[in-house]
Structure 1
Amino acid sequence: MLAPSYIPETKHKLLAELSDGLESNALSWLSGYFAGVAQGRQESSRSAPPAIAAVADTQAARQLTIVYGSQTGNAKRIAESIAERTGALGLSTRLLRADRYPTRELKDEHLLYIVMSTQGEGEPPDDSLAFVEFLSSRRAPKLPQLKFAVLGLGDSSYPLFCGIAQSLDARLTELGAQRLYDLGTADLDIETVAMPWQEATIALAQKVLKQPEPAGASVIPLHPKTAPVSRDQPFLAELLLNQPITGRDSDKDVRHLEISLEGSQLNYQPGDALGVWPTQSQALVDSVIATLNLGSEETVEFNKVSRTLGDWLKHHRELTQLTKPFLVAHAELAKSSELQALLQADSVEVLRNFLGTRQVIDVLKAYPAKWTAQGLVKSLRPLTPRMYSIASSQAAVDEEVHLTLAHVKYDHQGESRWGVASRYLSELGEGDRLPIFIEENPRFRLPADASRDVIMIGPGTGIAPFRAFVQERSANRTSGRNWLFFGNPHFASDFLYQTEWQRALQDGDLHRLDLAFSRDQSEKIYVQHKLLDRATDLYEWIQGGAHIYVCGDATRMARDVHQALLHIARNEGGLDESQARQWLDDLAAQGRYARDVY
């Protein structure tokens, strides 16, 4: 059906997308809703004289702008939920990723919500670098007319918990804006903080924008007959293969896992992540309970949910990652001057090292305290799913999903320690089932233009998404070239997927392969060194339109790679320091420099 001429041509596609796939009852509701909007506008036009400037100001005053910055998709998911709900209430809402927000419009905003994650050591997500930099700079305008609320997503196992959100909240206040609702700081159990924050800020948006829910209108849920698989409703998938892919002499235990998606109706794209809900080791649960002299069968009620202490600790509480909030609670309970001094020390690095090298059980043993079962459950962070970069393309493996898993295990003062999810997964046998879901990562996608070249930088298990990339490009017979940089300690024992990469080179699916085995010679060689060795060709590929992808460790590797790229821009492109940074920022803004780092 053709849209009438009085509807602008630019809106035709939006109308088609809005109505596509909706059932008749939903279309009827939309019809009534738009009729109500039209009537309201007609009444407004009869009662108020035309004034272009006033209309523009009124529109800004009656609009909620939601800006999000997301590395793994969680902040995006929360922001979309807010936008969907405020839109359903009839509020004028616009949703923008931080790198798409026109900062020149900030001075005209009246209601702004920011949802932003903090990465690693207090850094903004890649899509928010320019937005955060602008707000922090002298170019940011005074904002006396602005009401705002900030929700931060972070990880309390890092000392600078939700550091970016705290900085934004403080900076907006400094610029004269009015805080509409208190800063929210959500840990890995995101919904615990995010849901109450959403409820409160949505109610406040209604009040500020003076737009009650249209009389008689209701949002009709359009649910399929069976609820789709999600983070909160995972699919119990069968494990098909659990195979070590490092040699016997390796210091690492890396596994290749193949998981069946049969019956799940799950689909994914290269670059997406697989979420896995882990279970704590029974040995660790028993050790915590015994150390505190508590009873495994003791019933604990928390947030109107009753479970045994053993069940809480095994399935619902974090034990392998020590967090600052738990350490604060334990220091007070243990009356430990040593822990109090640590928490009050000026050095963030000292606290970071303490949190990163100890688990809950280590603190319980080293600094005895009398915990109750109720207090313990309340103070421990909820167990959350772990995200793994998917190492396969459905174009190649159909109803399967593959993972590259590093089993995290080490000794602490003569006792074994491990990562909860890597131990859980590594101990699964073929035929066992595990709860999974797909987490989309739209910022880590192959180029829409299949003729574009791609440069993939993935040491260690960071190789995972690039196995998926090459499989996908091979299956689709793309014309763009593929260049892979991979690094690990030793060629003989740590060359992950060696035969696959050799075959890909022979078949023409991989055009260049550069390897950095750091311990095979006296001088340590890493992937960033290989980038510098290939600087001329790399710069030529990038200037010719290639996309750059980086996956792996955020704290060292990703920073070193970033610095190597800046060096290449200066040396090969003749750019100064400022121009080189702008060059990389522009590549990121174009979607040609993407990182999946952790």
Structure 2
Amino acid sequence: MLAPSYIPEAKHKLLVELSDGLESNALSWLSGYFAGVAQGRQQSGRSAPPSIVAVADTQSARQLTIVYGSQTGNAKRIAESIAERTGALGLSTRLLRADRYPTRELKDEHLLYIVMSTQGEGEPPDDSLAFVEFLSSRRAPKLPQLKYAVLGLGDSSYPLFCGIAQNLDARLAELGAQRLHDLGTADLDIETVASPWQEATIALAQKALKQSEPAGASVIPLHPKATPVSRDQPFLAELLLNQPITGRDSNKDVRHLEISLEGSQLNYQPGDALGVWPTQSQVLVDAILATLNLDPDEPVEFNKVSRSLNEWLKHHRELTQLTKPFLVAQAELAQSDDLQALLQADSVEALRDFLGTRQVIDVLKTYPAKWTAPGLVKALRPLTPRMYSIASSQTAVDEEVHLTLANVEYEHQGESRWGVASRYLCELDEGDKLPIFIEENPRFRLPADASRDVIMIGPGTGIAPFRAFVQERSANGASGRNWLFFGNPNFASDFLYQTEWQRALQDGDLDRLDLAFSRDQTEKIYVQHKLLERATDLYEWIQGGAHLYVCGDATQMARDVHQALLRIAQDEGGLDEVQAKQWLDDLAAQGCYARDVY
């Protein structure tokens, strides 16, 4: 890119270096900062730049601050959209990831929007832990001057739907802030709630800031798109390889998929995810239609779109994930006392177990009800894409992307059940096309300093991003050491990518490998046990600047690993419980402890 005539070439090079690799919130801050420099020089004639604090203070009373917390990128995408649109309207806007928000400034905020996803059972995403903890604590200030709005993103297949957003909304009101717009709670069909919430809150921001002086700078476009490929406009990619990588004796069916990106212009980095739009199995669609005695060819219009019922169910509706809203509708239509009792009970655990062990077809068969085709389409949640951690480095594989996929299949009361995306992908033949897109994950990145050591903890298919990490570090000649912890049931049948890891050890691309095969001995051994066995070396690596990564199951593994790390900090570092927690929080805040859990 050529420098404009009014910017010297040397200065232009410095600007390019400065902006390279910065996240969108940092770029937006720089935009406002340089505008402040210009304004200060025009008013005073002085060449010295204004202080950072002064810039922040002059903006605080007449700006919209958007804070987001995102686990898989959806909350980030929504927040960026709001920031781009308000900036384009001339409203002074700043966009901050929750772990980058300076909480000391909260007392001076006048207009705050929060977009927050929920992971697991009503828990905040990893990048928002400190922000949520601050707001929930006694340290949070009274906020009588603040107007706010909260949008939550969640999954209604969990009982505590959008739990963290509900807590934040209530807490801000408790602190004296004025709710500018009702809490938005978006299910996996995000846009159904998020789009009208955006429209309303953007209009409210215009009204709230209309008396303000003209902003010094508006938000610049955050992520210029070099390609039309997106979540809503996926690329039809060719499947190059569909290969089982577990042995015949394994209880798991894990596949290695290789997908061509030729012609897509898609680029990704290690740590990013691949989004896949799945198709429901016709076997399941037929079973639902037969159970309800509905005509597959019946036309159904919903939200001004008309399709056959079969088309709605196969391509546009969730059938393998049971949600609480659908259960409520089924209970009412079936007039089922059992379902009503379950929904009205205080036991979150019982509802969680019910939703987690049954699918739509199971409820339809057990609690018969007379559904109409339009009623069914309206009650079922829209089908959404599935995200998979990318298992390759584009530096190493060029115009390909690789996945490590566990085929979810089991029996329920003697009948086969499966996961929609894993079945769809595993049944694809080489040469078939599948709709894909890239979902960036800037929180799960290799260290910019290639001399830093890396510790990777990834049991099961959690190994995927670390295959990409090692490929990338090898291709770029990174001098830092690589240490991998991997676990699965059995060595003989479940050692994913065994030959690759052995070769990496021989070639020096992997410095240490610790394995935990839980079923190969009487006592079950998991990765957290291996962490404790290697506690002294592990703590030494971390204290020496190593970056620590965890990928895999959020419900059990990630919690057990976190507890093991807290114990290591206490045993090896001599810290008490509070200090150990702070140690891990500090590592996360510095980007040295990152998790990609699901």
TM-score (norm 1): 0.91
CA shift, 1:62, in A, is 1.1
- Which deviations, in whole Å up to 9, do the C-alpha atoms of 1:130-151 show, x marking residues without a partner? 1000100111111111000000
Deviations 1:291-350 (A, max 9, x none): 111110011111110000000000000000000111111111111110011011111111
Offset, 1:215:
14
Is 1:155–1:161's contact at 8 Å kept on the other side of the alignment? yes
Helix, strand or coil at the partner of 1:596: strand
Q: Displacement, 1:60? A: 2.1
CA distance change for structure 1 residues 5 and 313 in 2, over 3 Å: closer, same or farther?
A: closer
CA distance in 1, matches of 2:7, 2:365: 70
State the partner residue of 2:26: 26
Q: Is the 8 A contact 1:386 1:421 kept in 2?
A: yes
Q: Deviations over 1:31-59 (max 9, x none)?
A: 99999999999999999999999998774
SS in 2 for 1:493: helix
Contact 2:62 2:212 (C-alpha < 8 Å) held by counterparts: no
Q: Matched residues in 1 for 2:549 and 2:23: separation?
A: 40
Change (3 A) 1:39 1:220: closer
SS at 1:116 equivalent: strand
Is 1:29–1:217's contact at 8 Å kept on the other side of the alignment? no
Q: Is 350-359 or 186-195 further displaced after alignment?
A: 186-195
CA contact (8 A) 1:247 1:494 kept: yes
1:278 paired residue number: 278
Alpha-carbon displacement from aligned partner over 1:398-442 (angstroms, at most 9, x marks no partner): 111000000000000010000000000000000000000000000
Q: Quick check: 2:28–2:219 contact (8 Å CA) kept in 1? A: no
CA contact (8 A) 1:244 1:255 kept: yes
1:80-118 CA deviation, whole Å, 9 max, x = no partner? Answer: 111111111110111111111111111111000000100
Q: 1:243 to 1:5 in 2, by over 3 A?
A: closer
SS in 1 for 2:134: helix
CA contact (8 A) 1:459 1:486 kept: yes
Classify the secondary structure of the residue corresponding to 2:45. Answer: helix
Preserved contact between residue 318 and residue 383 of structure 2 (Cα < 8 Å): yes
Do the aligned residues in 2 keep the contact of 1:269 with 1:394 (CA within 8 Å)? Answer: yes
C-alpha offsets along residues 356-378 of structure 1, whole Å, 9 cap, x if unaligned? 00000000000001111111111
Per the alignment, in what secondary structure is the counterpart of residue 246 of structure 1? coil
1:109-258 equivalence runs, <5 A: 109-210=109-210, 228-258=228-258
Per-residue CA deviations over 1:155-212 (Å, capped at 9, x if unaligned) read: 1111111000000000000111010001011111111111111111001000000069
Residues 579 and 33 from structure 1, CA distance in 2 versus in 1: closer, same or farther, beyond 3 angstroms?
Answer: closer
The Cα RMSD (Å) is 4.8
Q: 1:48, 1:479 → 2: CA distance?
A: 40
TM-score (norm 2): 0.91
User: Superposed, which structure 2 residues align to 1:56-71 within 5 Å?
Assistant: 59-71=59-71
| Corresponding position of 1:472 | 472
Offset of 1:395 from its aligned partner? Answer: 1.4
Contact 1:90–1:213 under 8 Å retained in 2: no
Unaligned 5+ runs, structure 2 = none
1:536–1:208 CA distance, 2 compared to 1 (3 A): same
Say if 1:361 and 1:517 are closer, same or farther in 2 by CA, change over 3 A: same
Change (3 A) 1:404 1:169: same
Deviation, 1:72, is: 1.1
Work out whether residues 227 and 266 of structure 2, in 8 Å CA contact, stay in contact via their aligned partners in 1: no
For residues 23 and 446 of structure 2, the distance between their equivalents in structure 1, rounded to whole angstroms, comes to 33
Q: Does the 8 Å CA contact 1:152/1:184 hold for their aligned counterparts? A: yes
Post-superposition offset of 1:228: 1.6
C-alpha separation between the residues in 1 aligned to 2:112 and 2:452? Answer: 37
Q: Secondary structure at the match of 1:150?
A: strand
- Segments of structure 1 that go 5 or more residues without pairing to the other structure are none
- Tell me the matched-pair count: 598
1:561-590 deviation digits (Å, cap 9, x = unpaired): 000000000000000000000000000001
CA–CA distance in 2 between the matches of 1:26 and 1:185? 28
Q: Secondary structure, in 3 states, of the residue corresponding to 1:484?
A: strand
Greater shift, 223-232 or 463-472, is seen at 223-232
Q: Secondary structure at the match of 1:46?
A: coil
Q: CA distance change for structure 1 residues 296 and 219 in 2, over 3 Å: closer, same or farther? A: farther
Aligned-residue offset at 1:122: 1.0
2:423 matches 1:423:
yes
Contact 1:482 1:512 in 2 (8 A): yes
Checking the alignment, whether the CA contact within 8 Å between 2:92 and 2:216 is kept in structure 1 is: no
Q: 2:390, 2:59 → 1: CA distance?
A: 43
CA 1:450/1:301 → structure 2, altered by over 3 Å: closer, same or farther? same
Tell me whether 401-410 or 71-80 shows the greater mean CA deviation.
71-80
* Aligned residue number for residue 567 of structure 1: 567
Whole-Å Cα distance in 2 between the matches of residues 212 and 395 of structure 1? Answer: 48
Q: Could you tell which deviates more after superposition, 546-555 or 60-69?
A: 60-69
Q: Show CA shifts across 1:510-554 (max 9, x none).
A: 010000000000000000000000000000000010010000000
Q: Residues 537, 316 of structure 1: CA spacing in aligned structure 2 closer, same or farther, 3 A cutoff?
A: same
When residues 162 and 15 of structure 1 are mapped into structure 2, their CA distance, relative to the original with a 3 A threshold, is: same
In 2, distance between residues paired with 1:24 and 1:460? 33
Report the CA distance shift for 1:317/1:593 in structure 2 as closer, same or farther (over 3 A).
Answer: same
CA distance in 2, matches of 1:266, 1:431: 19
1:52 and 1:453 map into 2 onto residues whose CA distance is 33
Q: Could you say if the C-alpha distance between residues 554 and 226 of structure 1 is closer, same or farther in structure 2, counting changes exceeding 3 Å?
A: closer
Provide closer, same or farther for how the CA distance between residues 580 and 309 of structure 1 changes in structure 2, counting only shifts above 3 A: same
1:13, CA displacement in angstroms? 8.8
- Looking at structure 2, the residues matched to 313 and 12 of structure 1 have their Cα atoms a distance apart, in angstroms, of 54
Q: 1:50 to 1:288 in 2, by over 3 A?
A: closer
| Maintained 8 Å contact 1:26/1:220 | no
Asked if structure 2 preserves the Cα contact closer than 8 Å seen for 1:63 and 1:209, the reply is yes
Structure 1 residues 500-511: aligned runs within 5 Å: 500-511=500-511
The 3 A distance-change label for structure 1 pair 297 and 467 is same
Shift in Å at residue 61 of structure 1?
2.3
Question: Given the superposition, is the C-alpha separation of residues 6 and 407 from structure 1 closer, same or farther in structure 2, using an over 3 Å criterion?
Answer: closer
* Closer/same/farther in 2, CA of residues 40 and 434 from structure 1, 3 Å limit: same
Q: CA deviation at 1:17?
A: 9.2
- Give the distance between the partners of 2:64 and 2:517, measured in 1 at CA: 51
8 Å Cα contact 2:155-2:161 kept in structure 1: yes
Q: Note if contact 1:90-1:211 (Cα within 8 Å) is conserved in structure 2.
A: no
- The farther-off stretch of 560-569 and 47-56 is 47-56
Cα distance change, pair 17–53 in 1 and its aligned pair in 2 (3 A): closer
Please say if residues 268 and 394 of structure 2, whose CA atoms lie closer than 8 Å, have aligned partners that are also in contact: yes
Contact map agreement 2:37 2:49 (CA 8 A) in 1: no
Q: Any conservation in 1 of the 2:33–2:52 contact (CA below 8 Å)?
A: no
CA contact (8 A) 1:121 1:160 kept: yes
Contact 2:247 2:492 (8 Å CA) reproduced: yes
Q: 1:21 to 1:572 in 2, by over 3 A?
A: closer
C-alpha distance in 2 between matches for 1:484 and 1:285: 42
1:23 and 1:253 map into 2 onto residues whose CA distance is 38
- Relative to structure 1, the CA distance from residue 8 to residue 145 in structure 2 (aligned partners, 3 Å threshold; closer, same or farther) is farther
Residues 3 and 512 (structure 1), Cα distance of their counterparts in 2 relative to 1, 3 Å cut:
closer
Question: Does the 8 Å contact 2:539/2:569 carry over to 1?
Answer: yes
Describe the superposition over 1:363-397 as per-residue Cα deviations: whole angstroms up to 9, x where unpaired.
Answer: 00000011111111111110000000000011111
CA contact (8 A) 2:28 2:220 kept: no
